[in-house]
Structure 1
Amino acid sequence: MTLHPAAANADYGTTASGSSFYAAMRILPRDQREAMFQIYSFCRQVDDIADSNGRRPERLAALQQWRDDIDALYQGRPPPRLQDYAASVKTFGLKREDFLAIVDGMEMDVPQDIRAPDLATLDLYCDRVASAVGRLSVRVFGLPEEDGILLAHHLGRALQLTNILRDIDEDAGLGRLYLPREGLLLAGITTDDPQRVIVDRALPKVCLPLAERAKKHFEKADQIMKRNSRRVVRAPRIMSKYYRAILDLLLARGFAAPREPVRVHKWAKIAILLRYAII
């Protein structure tokens, strides 16, 4: 699969522009900001492969090429699309296994669409597509090793579970259903057909426990950030507050069909930035 040329260039800020990620990362010093935009660009490119309409064998081959390119980067011969990453890898000690975990996570959607994974598989998915990104990020932010890994674990899962709850209808349109099989069965839903699940009257019984799980991860992440320097947790704190606001909006709206999309208003975003961007 051929990536869009702009995505392969080093204009990471443009790639991220307009996202909540961009708002959180633009407050960082230049070297940290550029490293984070590189991580973001990498994630976007592999995610675009997983979500594309290409044939599954082609998408698998494209993801394998990313693995090969990551291996080449860590062997000291980065390909053109990863040329700029070498300095960040060295400066911040970014780990090869975290980049590869992200590719593995994106690949979980490719051989067949994910539909009602068991809780263990869902947690593995969250670890790969979100917490692995966090493990790269906390090294850039400069958190101590132990707290950094813990923050990546909890905040990554909190953000991803929030994404899953926010995007139920959009994912169903792609033939995907990330809600856990155990939760569906407990609510009396025996199908894993996304289009049938999203209109089932028992859906809130599946979503609310997942929202509670996300809240607990947010709380654990907050505890970790509180015991660390405000300077090193500015960016993750902004992401946390923004996504917690999304979760609160979802809970206020409810999960019964029909569901209106939720959105954090511009002034609420500005308030979060003003409160947490300044040391």
Structure 2
Amino acid sequence: MTPQEAQAYCTQLTKSSGSNFYYSFLFLPATRRNAMYTVYAFCKAVDSAVDEPTHGSEPKEELRRWRSELDAVYHGTPTWPIMISLAHHVRRLSIPQAYFEELIKGVEMDLTTTRYETFDALSLYCYRVASVVGLMCLHVFGATSAHAQDYAVDLGMAFQLTNILRDLATDAEQGRVYLPLEDLARFHCGESELLAKQHSPALRELVAFESARARQYYKKAQAALESLPRAERRALTVAEIMRAVYSRILERIEQPDHQIFGPRIRLSTSNRLALAAGVWVQSRFS
């Protein structure tokens, strides 16, 4: 497969995903947009190897094969479409191999860990499955300073905490409890309540506490962004679009009438595009 054919494969995979991120990618120049499609395709495929394994597949073996292909990206000749395209972009953008390795480690944690005793333990998971993706994206966006890295790490934490709060029902169905057990104990909320998807005042207090924690990471990301020179801030416009979308999801979770185990919160296409356009205009003319 040629790099062009591999790129077309990644682009189609991303477009068909329905991800909140897709609409932000549209605001990138074509070359950077193609790189972003490929990075997203890699992240999605690795995650699906564990969360949505194909019939008859063995997730651990699938991750081993992804690691082998990743080594080929940096030290040989990859053979999978996503990795052929990835090889083209990582060489041009100098994205460290360690970021992709950390992501695989994070996804692998879901094979062995269904509970996190402390927030520190959960933070490692969030860093691996979300913050390192932000660090990859910095190379695509062209802003890799130390403060930009702080921004990416904090924003990744905020995104993942938002995802955890949005997906409490789905995770409960899979027997997973991502909220730290120390926090459940603090609010006298039992694991059994979460797994049985039972509403309670204690659970609502717990969700409010975790929402405030996520909100703090959004604020830390904002502070890091404001410390950057204007050129770097503009380079991060796409990340800011993502922040607007996920902040809106968190706002829905924070509403008093939010159904914790209700339908999964989704923003309409028009809503996502409106948020994206608003952030883009502000970044260009503010």
Relative to the length of structure 2, the TM-score reads 0.86
TM-aligned CA deviation for residue 41 of structure 1: 0.4
After the TM superposition, list the runs of 4 or more consecutive aligned residues in structure 1 that deviate by more than 4 angstroms.
Answer: 53-57, 253-258
Q: How much does 1:85 deviate?
A: 1.5
When structure 1 is superposed on structure 2, of 115-124 and 258-267 the one drifting more is 258-267
What corresponds to 2:134 in structure 1? 134
Residue number among 236, 239, 247 corresponding to 2:239 in the alignment: 236
> Does residue 274 of structure 1 match 2:252?
no
Corresponding residue of 1:246: 249
The Cα of 1:198 is off from its aligned counterpart by 4.6
Aligned to 1:169: 169
Query: Is residue 72 of structure 2 the alignment partner of residue 91 of structure 1?
Result: no
Other-structure match for 2:262: 259
Q: CA deviation at 1:124?
A: 0.6
CA spacing shift, 1:216–1:150, aligned 2, 3 Å:
same
Q: Deviations over 1:184-239 (max 9, x none)?
A: 01011343674236544411222212111111111111222233434301100000
CA distance in 2, matches of 1:184, 1:56: 36
**Distance in 2, Cα, partners of 1:127 & 1:233:** 19
Q: Which runs of 5+ in 1 are unaligned?
A: 1-7
Q: Deviations over 1:129-164 (max 9, x none)?
A: 000101100111011321221111100000000000
| Deviation for aligned residue 1:34 | 1.0
State the distance in 2 between where 1:191 and 1:212 align. 21
The answer to whether the aligner puts 1:213 opposite 2:213 as a matched pair is yes
Question: Aligned pair 1:61/2:64, yes or no?
Answer: no
- Aligned equivalents of 2:136 and 2:62: distance in 1? 22
Rounded to whole Å, the distance in 2 between the matches of 1:219 and 1:80 is: 39
Shift of 1:53: 5.2
Does the aligned pair in 2 maintain the 1:198–1:257 contact within 8 Å?
Answer: no
CA contact 1:115–1:193 (8 Å) conserved in 2: no
Partner of 1:3: none
Report the residue type matching 1:99 in the other structure. F
Match of 2:123 in 1: 123
Q: Identity across aligned pairs (percent)? A: 31
Relative to structure 1, the CA distance from residue 45 to residue 144 in structure 2 (aligned partners, 3 Å threshold; closer, same or farther) is closer
Contact 1:10 1:38 in 2 (8 A): no
- Is the 8 Å Cα contact of residues 203 and 255 (structure 1) preserved in structure 2? no
SS in structure 2 opposite 1:231? helix
Query: 1:130 corresponds to which letter in structure 2?
Result: A
User: SS at the partner of 2:255?
Assistant: helix
Alignment map for 1:180-191 (pairs within 5 Å):
180-191=180-191
What is the CA–CA distance in structure 1 between the aligned matches of 2:23 and 2:248, rounded to whole Å?
15
> 1:10-159 maps to which residues of 2 (within 5 A)?
10-17=8-15, 18-52=18-52, 58-81=58-81, 82-111=83-112, 114-159=114-159
Closer/same/farther in 2, CA of residues 166 and 60 from structure 1, 3 Å limit? same
Whole-angstrom CA distance in 2 between matches of 1:253 and 1:64: 44
Q: Please tell me the residue identity of whatever aligns with 2:177.
A: L
Supply the RMSD in Å over aligned alpha carbons.
Answer: 2.3
- Kept in 2, the 8 Å contact 1:204–1:254? The answer is no
For residue 21 of structure 1, what is the amino acid of its counterpart? F
Whole-angstrom distance in 2 between the partners of 1:248 and 1:190: 25
Structure with the higher helix share, 1 or 2 = 2
Deviation at 1:174, TM superposition (A): 1.7
> Could you tell me how far apart the structure 2 residues matched to 1:249 and 1:105 are?
27
Instruction: Report the 3-state secondary structure (helix = DSSP H, G, I; strand = E; otherwise coil) of the residue aligned with 1:263.
Output: coil
